[in-house]
Chain A
């Protein structure tokens, strides 16, 4: 599977989740290289993938996007609810990516999601860049909220 194929599937999977489940329009931008996310990130959610493809799917954003999502759904915006929302979003994006990819190649299983709340952290990819290519795609939701879908993968 090449990067172009994965990129196309990430865009389709992300668009569907945000447009059908969250009623938000999203627009993708050009992919970034490793370490090129310069925005402050408040919430990062990760889910591991294993099977014919191994790696991780991550979704990163500032708190404003998660608050915009939860404010339309619940009356309170506790940190637990923000974490719950972001965990479900990575779960749906990764699950839908699996659905898109599985129609053409062998599939993979998903771990439970993990959310990192807070911005004083650094994400380091310890896999070699040649064996674990990484695709970081920026998106803008509702013309206002930037978020990133980050996929690190290795074909078996």
Chain B
């Protein structure tokens, strides 16, 4: 069955770039859902089911770390794998995301192969 993903980033450019790279991973994706920050992501998830979330860390309103914290503390969303996508996030920030429950991370720029490998580790 096709994977339904939510891409969370305050840049529309990055959301579209990530979606385009997802189509080149060789994995079967439905058209992605988008959110411009963590608050918007929570709204989207209130009315949509997704198999995977790809999220930036630095965002307005609710940032990526807080988004992970909220999703993992809600039984309705706790099982959704979250991959962090970062330009230059420090190891500390990325480790913090992992300790909060993120499934992994990829640093931009990344290839479709790198993204596919990170997604496959999520065992969707």
Contact = CB atoms under 8 A, between A and B. Distances in A.
B111 A99 contact: no
B14 interface: yes
Best-buried of B12, B88, B107 by chain A (most CB within 10 Å):
B88
Contacts of A42: none
Interface string A54-85: 00000000000000011011100000010011
A8 to B, nearest CB: 17
A51 B7 CA distance: 32
Interface in B1-53: 11-14, 16-17, 20-21
A95 interface: yes
B87 interface: yes
Interface of A: 16-17, 20-23, 69-70, 72-74, 81, 84-85, 87-88, 91-92, 94-96, 98-99, 110
Contacts of B87: 91-92, 95-96, 110
A92 B87 CA distance: 6
A7 B42 CA distance: 43
B109 A88 contact: no
Contact of B88 (A20, A87, A99): A99
Interface in B98-113: 107-111
A17 B109 contact: yes
A51 B89 CA distance: 15
Contact of B13 (A85, A96, A98): A85
What DSSP secondary structure best describes chain A's contact surface? helix
B88 A73 contact: no
A87 B12 CA distance: 11
A74 to B, nearest CB: 6
Contacts of B12: 73-74, 81, 84
Interface string B79-121: 0000000011000000000000000000111110000000000
A23 B24 CA distance: 11
Nearest to B110: A20
B53 to A, nearest CB: 20
B13 A84 contact: yes
B36 to A, nearest CB: 11
**What 7 A-B pairs are tightest by C-beta distance, nearest first?**
A95-B88, A95-B87, A73-B16, A85-B13, A20-B109, A21-B109, A88-B13
Contacts of A20: 109-111
A73 B109 contact: no
B108 A21 contact: yes
Contacts of B88: 94-96, 98-99, 110
